[in-house]
Copies of this chain bind each other. A is one copy, B any other.
Amino acid sequence: MAKVKKQPRPKAETPKGFRDYFGAEVTQRAEMLRTIAGVYHRYGFDALESSAVETVEALGKFLPDVDRPNEGVFAWQEAEDEGKGDWLALRYDMTAPLARVYAQHRNDLPTPYRRYTMGPVWRNEKPGPGRFRQFYQCDADTVGTSSMAADAEICAMLADTLEAVGIARGDYLIRVNNRKVLNGILDGLMVDNETSRNLPARNIEEALNAKVSDFELVNPDDILRTIDKFDKVGAEGVVELLTTGRIDQSGAFIDGLGLSRKDASRVVRFMECRGRDNTETLQNLRELMGGPDTQLQLENGATEEGHDGIEELQAIADLLEAQGYGPDRIVIDPSVVRGLGYYTGPVFEAELTFEILDEKGRTRQFGSVAGGGRYDDLVKRFTGQAVPATGISIGVDRLLAALHAKGRISAEARGPVVVTVMDRDRMADYQAMVAELRQAGLRAEVYLGNPKNFGNQLKYADKRHSPAAVIEGADEKARGVVQIKDLILGAEIAAQATLEEWKENPSQIEVPRAELVARVREIVERGQS
């Protein structure tokens, strides 16, 4: 066997686009996940943790004409004794694995199957500022029912969840749209143009595998992408992009999609249907679509699907109103576009409406923290049988960032009480002190570094954001007392302070050894209030 070559020293770096999370970042996320799980659980959802690794086949990203799965997932081929093994990949969301889990275990699972799941997902995408290739999602889905009550419940639960983690009512808005309504509008366009169109992708697999070249005429996904620019370019900008094209800010000309101006206006009118309340919004949608069997409908070419979509929105609006979730929390809004491409019915998006300062110091709305909708063909690709499903995914890291931005949680958590080491032969005495503190529920540790330089011990306590440091030298031991340094109240400790200088500090108190726990507790509790 070949002699192993001496390796150069490896670089101590996370792979590009990955990062580490420290201390409060980890515990605050864990606390948020626990809170969210609590709400989901109370709503009757059951926990699921599927494996992080799936076959590429099950994820539905494998293209047969390339050696390697396309960009977007982290994938590798299993080595096998003979020939080549399966391609495996890290999950890129929680929905594709849910479809696999449901198809695999459907005989053992209740119907409907209501599950929540939380954990990291991985995307093999170009990383950017604040954009990582591993991030947390926290999803809840109801599989096996086409009832709009399931969709309404998901929206209500999302509102409850946002409030439970600390987003005040009024600081968020959940907007609801329906893919079927847009389909109705688009069908109308195509009839007007006397052209046919390929069906838009109705499920994940089709959407993932679809190529622009598969669509001979205007690709509905291009229309989706265009109307998604509504916030940036406004109504007239969208009309230009849908028709003959537009000159952008840089002066470059962007080709239009070639719709007629009448069709483009109709798309924009759809997006502008939101009224003062849900009743008015639904009325606007009905007028735009045309009533069943009316002249308007024939003129518009609206399909049954468009009307179904409006009735679904009506059902959701009625259920939410009956449960007291008013349009200040959940509102029907036809301008919601994000992610619409993958869904088959209602879609939801939760936005935080308060303003923050972005990297460049400009105020902007915080934006989306959760999204979801109905995927009725989720399981079909495995079993051939359509299984209706609807769900929501919360972007946990973004939600945490929002709470930080609002000052609802602080970046730093309090460290442990540090018992300093004055005499390394009496380590057992110091360990006994921390044992007492811990038994009283206080976070504490003995300084375990080299105790020679006392300043280093205090620097350590400082770096750990310790509320207090404890000292027991030979003198204190002999007199049955300990010194407690209140590091919260006290002035910052000079990095090279000597023990003598340190002892002069007024925030230091001398107490009987027997009072150690009680006095430290006072300091810690004062620091928490």
A interface residues (Cβ-Cβ under 8 A, vs B): 1-5, 7, 9-15, 18-27, 29-30, 34, 37, 41-44, 46-55, 57-58, 60, 62-65, 68, 71, 74-76, 78-79, 86, 88, 90, 99-101, 103-105, 110-112, 114, 120, 122, 133-134, 142, 144-145, 147, 149-150, 152-153, 156, 205, 209-211, 213-214, 318-319, 322-324, 381-384, 415-416, 418, 427-429, 431-432, 434-435, 438, 441-446, 448-450, 460, 463-464
Contacts and interface: CB of A to CB of B under 8 A. Distances in A.
A20 B4 contact: no
A111 B460 contact: yes
B11 A57 contact: yes
Contacts of A145: 448-450
A418 to B, nearest CB: 8
Most buried by B among A1, A13, A21: A13
A70 to B, nearest CB: 10
Given A4-B211, A52-B120, A431 B323 contact: yes
A514 B449 CA distance: 63
A18 B428 contact: no
B43 A438 contact: yes
A203 to B, nearest CB: 13
A45 to B, nearest CB: 8
A71 B85 CA distance: 14
Given A12-B100, A12-B383, A26-B48, 19 more contacts: A10-B60, A11-B382, A12-B103, A13-B55, A15-B53, A18-B51, A20-B104, A20-B105, A21-B48, A27-B37, A27-B47, A42-B444, A43-B438, A44-B464, A51-B134, A71-B79, A76-B76, A114-B445, A322-B429
B445 A101 contact: no
Nearest to A29: B49
Contacts of A103: 12
A381 B8 CA distance: 9
A13 B120 CA distance: 20
Q: Closest 4 CB pairs between A and B?
A: A44-B445, A322-B428, A12-B103, A76-B76
Nearest to A59: B10
A428 B381 contact: no
Contacts of A79: 68, 71
A311 to B, nearest CB: 14
A460 B110 contact: yes
Contacts of A65: 2, 4-5
A29 to B, nearest CB: 8
A176 B2 CA distance: 37
B443 A64 contact: no
A384 B37 CA distance: 44
Nearest to A47: B26
Contacts of A51: 14-15, 18-20, 134
B49 A74 contact: no
A462 B369 CA distance: 36
A134 B429 CA distance: 42
A49 B68 contact: no
Interface of A, secondary structure class, is mixed
Most buried by B among A15, A20, A144, A432: A15
A29 B52 CA distance: 16
A47 to B, nearest CB: 4
A330 to B, nearest CB: 13
Contacts of A416: 43-44
A456 to B, nearest CB: 8
Given A47-B22, A48-B20, A51-B18, A381 B464 contact: no
Contacts of A99: 12
Contact of A15 (B34, B55, B74, B383): B55
A318 to B, nearest CB: 7
A134 to B, nearest CB: 5
Nearest to A14: B51
A42 B382 contact: no
Contacts of A464: 44, 46, 110
B323 A432 contact: yes
Contacts of A74: 53, 76, 88
Contacts of A29: 49
A446 B149 contact: yes
A44 B444 contact: yes
Given A46-B22, A58-B13, A79-B68, A449 B111 contact: yes
A120 to B, nearest CB: 6
Contacts of A449: 111-112, 144-145, 147
A147 B10 contact: no
A505 B211 CA distance: 59
Nearest to A103: B12
B104 A318 contact: no
